[in-house]
Amino acid sequence: MPQYDSVIRSRRVVTPGGVRPGAVGIRGGRITAVADYDAPLTGGGETDLGPVALLPGCVDTDVAVQAPGQQLREGYARTSAAAVRGGVTTLVVTPAPARPAVTGVHALNGHVAAAADNGVHVAFLGGIGPHSTPADLADLRSAGVVGFHCSLSDGGAPDVGPVGDSRLRKAMVELAAMQVPLFVHAEDAGELSEPARAGNAALLVSRPPRAERRGLERIIAAARVTGARTHVAPFTAAECAAILAAAQAIGIPVTAQTCPHYLCLPAEQVPDASPAFGCRPPLRSSANRNALWSVLSDEGDSPITTIGSGHRPGTGVAAIAWLLPALWTAAARRGCGLDDIARWTAQAPAELVGLRRKGRIAPGHDADLVAFDPDAVQAVPEHGGGPYAGRRLTGRVAGTWVAGRTAFADPAGTGAEGAGRPGPNTADGGPLLPISG
């Protein structure tokens, strides 16, 4: 009689205690044992990844799922399929710009139904708009949202418009009592302008770093008064990191999330007319990207605690399928390890939104796992590759398990046989572009 439903072995299992050879025993969708690599665990099925690493599945927070003109169910199906290809096993969905926006229980129920049976775990953030009431927030929390989201500028939908300081503080008082986090798009509406023309360069001028600075000042002032846990997402202006760090130093519970495209793709190196880079806040300079890495890699307590894909199919930033490879490509060049990647993309976000059984390879946690070959090289297709189209990435998701069941297996081969195999040297016949280090 097998001890476990399945056993997965790897020479590089990324655990909370570090990266080591190990064997993971799975029963009933949960991890029930983490043992030595050659431990005599027996399972109904066994996978030996060899040198391919085993990571906890990513918990991707602040994800948009729906493109304009797309049915909500189709949006969840497409996003879920892309997610498992990128090593994401849990989506924490932002309330807008999906339609209907998640500002009430009826809309939330529609999203729950649309997200069913798509092969990944899905959690939801409730939307806070100018007309949200304490009763709205309480009802959404009772219905199961794991946190809330608001914007100081363009919230993504008419009913999730920008919130003023009074509404922000009132909402924060309620969320502090609920003990759930508030995600905030921090760009201040008063510091933004309409782009003078089409293109990413004009977008960058219209949304300067001072918009984030002013927004952060408002957020920190409200969090200081209310004590609400506040997470700035996405955070891009590295010059504002000192403001966050100073707030943390005096006990204000404010943290931040950034995305791989802000860490990999400086504004100087992207095509001006391409919609695949039209993110908000915009991509910033190479100097800003380097400073952002310095903040993230700080051996002390960095205010940037999580990294999410920033997936926004409605604006062209279809990035979730490349979350781990893009991040690893840049991170490895800067001396970061697989344990850093797991902390930023799995452990910290799971802890932030209270998903206590996710984000770690440890007994008692859900068997949401990713086989990741950090040595493989792959070409991102020119079409459908989002902001990484045509680039060469180091690292490949070779397989993904959700609750112990296979959700994705790389056709190039999962496990030792596919380990380290380089991808082609061109994407769709064209030259590959590097990811900036």
By residue count, the chain amounts to 437
Residue 311 three-state SS: coil
Residue of higher predicted confidence among 435 and 171: 171
CB atoms within 10 A of CB 425: 10
- Distance (Å, whole) CA 285 – CA 267: 5
Average pLDDT over residues 301-328: 92
Per DSSP, the three-state class of 167 is: helix
- Rounded Cα gap, residues 192 and 197, in angstroms: 14
| Cα–Cα distance measured from residue 270 to residue 68, given in angstroms and rounded to the nearest whole number | 24
Q: Within 13 Å of residue 153, how many CA atoms lie on the same side as its CB?
A: 20
- Compute the average pLDDT of residues 105-128: 96
Share of the chain above pLDDT 90, in %: 81
- State the burial class of residue 299 (Cβ atoms within 10 Å of its Cβ: 0-12, 13-18, 19+): exposed
Q: What angle do CA 31, 32, 34 make, to 5 degrees?
A: 80
* CB proximity list for 334: less than 8 A, separation 6 or greater: 293, 297, 437
Q: How confident is the model at residue 232 (pLDDT cuts 50, 70, 90)?
A: very high
Domain ranges of the chain: 4-55+362-418, 57-352
Distance (Å, whole) CA 320 – CA 324:
9
Tell me, what's the pLDDT at 355? 98
Give the range among 118-122, 269-273, 282-286, 318-322 with minimum mean pLDDT.
269-273
Strand partners, 124: 93
60: pLDDT confidence band, cut at 50, 70 and 90?
A: very high
- Stretch 22-50: mean pLDDT: 96
Question: What average pLDDT does this structure show over 362-369?
Answer: 98
Residue 203 corresponds to which tokens in the numbers above? Answer: 């977008």
Domain 57-352: assigned CATH number: 3.20.20.140
3-state helix, strand, coil split of the chain in percent (to 5) is 35, 25, 40
CA 72 to chain centre: 20
Residue 316 in contact with residue 277, Cβ under 8 Å?
yes
Cβ atoms of 277 and 390 within 8 Å: the answer is no
Q: Give, as one character, the DSSP assignment of residue 2.
A: -
Q: What is the pTM of this model?
A: 0.93
User: DSSP state, 104?
Assistant: S
The residue whose two tokens read 């998903």 is 355
Q: What is residue 381's DSSP assignment?
A: P
Residue range 216-222: mean pLDDT, rounded:
98
Q: What CATH class has 4-55+362-418?
A: mainly beta
Whether residue 122 has pLDDT greater than 70: yes
Backbone angles phi, psi at 43, to 5 degrees: -140, 165
Give percent of the chain above pLDDT 70. 92
Q: Report helix angle 105-115 to 72-85, nearest 10.
A: 50
Q: What number is the average pLDDT over the span 97-117?
A: 95
| Beta-carbon count within 10 A of 50 CB | 16
437: pLDDT strictly greater than 70: no
Rounded CA-CA distance 88/95 in Å is 19
